[in-house]
Structure 1
Amino acid sequence: MAVKKYQNTKEISYYMCDRTHTLTLPMLVNLILEVSGEQSEELGLGEEVMQEKGYSWIILQYEFEIDRFPKNKETIEIETYATEYNKLFCYRDFVIRDLTGNELIMIHSTFALFDFTKRKMARIPEEIVVPYKATFNKRVKRTPKPVEIDEEKAYSKPFHVRYFDIDTNQHVNNSKYLDWTLNTLGGEFLSNHKLVYANVKFDKEVYEGQVIQSYVSITENKETSLSAHKIRTEGITNCSASFKWENRT
């Protein structure tokens, strides 16, 4: 059975870009979630329907393989499809292409179903995943873990969780965690490096009013660098990430 694929085009606007007129990673996440939401709406499983059932989808992990990020005013095609699922997790891929068909970014993601009433992950009912035509596989897929930070070399910055960080699912928006991790690197590092791979794992929710600490340690080589990240609140790890960078020449 072929998976159910969905595609849509999006034009990159200036407010999605950084000072180099390049789409940012947090804005990319917002775009792909918009497209996956469009597919769910088309299949009759949009946000309102899911909320009536007492559920929402939450993202547990992203893995990004990046050739290049789109530029301001560039139109891209985003294709998405659920690849497989088990009782607790659903795996979805996203492919970003330019209009000539060149693959720019490949994203692998892991989703889970969140029960609003119980405030915890729920088993995935068949009727919620069948329309996507994903393959059932009872085994949990092994996904690569982000690289651990070097505690001796790590430094951190604090960030406040604000009212507008909360999205319609009543969670801190995924893109905010990426803002916090990337901003800790500082402007000089970000200006001199190109992101080519990212692995982001979400562990525990953060809540409005909390102060998070965004930790990072950087290992620099001649041509590449690796940054390892942790977001923590009161000693609890809320998110882990590692990014591979190429040095800009």
Structure 2
Amino acid sequence: MPSRSSRANRGWWDGNADDYQAEHGPFLRDTGFVWCPEGLDEAEARLLGEVRGRDVLEIGCGAAQCARWLVTQGARVAAFDLSRGQLLHARRIDEETGVRVPVVQADAEALPFAPESFDAACSAFGALPFVADAAAVFGEVRRVLRPGGRFVFSVSHPIRWAFPDDPGPRGLTSDRSYFDRTPYEERDEHGELSYVEHHRTMGDWMSLLAASGLAVTGLVEPEWPQGHERVWGGWSPLRGRQLPGTAIFSCARI
């Protein structure tokens, strides 16, 4: 049964998929692999290594921009997202570009794939910030990876949770404890949960990965690049030059 977080976030993303793709689609590119608002691109970063001829899973794919880029690099790709609204945009972009990705609607806490189906898995801000049980996701990822398989994912840098989600000067002054793991929640006019994000410290992420049998092989904290002036929610040049906004974990199945 889907968790409260999954039910709320599925509804939120279905309702906001059109606006999200209209606002951020040009930055993400229909066939592009952007890891984060800082603009780190897999075409240069190569965090997944060589993907040609390999089976790769994208977790929380949205409109499957990353998966579509992987297809152009010769990977055999599968992708999924919780939101049907996002997957409809994936189909639209498939038709517009002629680059097609097989997608399925699924919950990251219960993957509909056989054990040891993939050589690599990736997630660019997909699923993990929004799930109540990250350990379940990591367990599922390990299950579907082949021995030695690589898993790379990006999330909001944990330190951001100690600061207001404000791209301006107010976002430079801490107003809560980094160790307060209270989820961020939004509710509708009836008081029903409509959106959730879950905070985990850097230590939490590392411990969860270790317990799941995924060994951390690298950690990237992208710096804000010169000349990049785009604001995305709480990410901005002002904050990005002072505080890390994204953490990208590279892991391998033990």
**TM-score, normalization by structure 2:** 0.24
Task: Name the larger-Rg structure.
Answer: 1
TM-score (ref. length: structure 1): 0.24
More strand by share: 1
